[in-house]
Amino acid sequence: MNDTIAENCPVEETIELLGRRYTLLILRALLYADAPLRFGELKRDVSSVSQKTLTRSLRQLEQSGLVTRTVYAEVPPRVEYALTEAGRELMPVFLAMRDWRERHGSLSVG
C-alpha cells in the first residue's frame, strides 16, 4: 500500500483505537446495557479480563472519548461507566458484525 494512503487512513486509525484487547467486549457490554455499569458489572460481562487490564482499558476508552466515568460522593464511592455519544454511534458497527457472522457462521474462528 502507498505510504501516503496508510498515513491518514481512517480504517487504520479506527483499528488502532478499537483493536486493543478487550476494548470491543467492554464497548459491547456498555452498548447493550440499559443503564451505566459499575466496574464489577463490567468485570462480570467481560469475565476473562483481569481487574488491572479492565482498569487500564477503561482509562484508555475514557481518554479516547468513547466512555465517561462518573464518581459519586458516597461511602463507599460509587463509580459508573457509560458510553459517550461517539461510543453509542458504534451500535451499527456491532450490529453489522453480528449480522455478518450470522451469514458466515461456517467460517473458522481460528
* Per-residue pLDDT, 78: 93
* Per-residue pLDDT, 26: 96
- The CATH architecture assigned to 21-103 reads Orthogonal Bundle (1.10)
Residues in the chain where the model's pLDDT stays below 50: none
Q: Give the cell for residue 92.
A: 451499527
Q: Domain extents for the chain?
A: 21-103
Angle between helices 91-103 and 23-32 (to 10 degrees): 110
Measure Cα distances from 18 to 29, 63, 78, 89 in Å: 14, 13, 27, 13
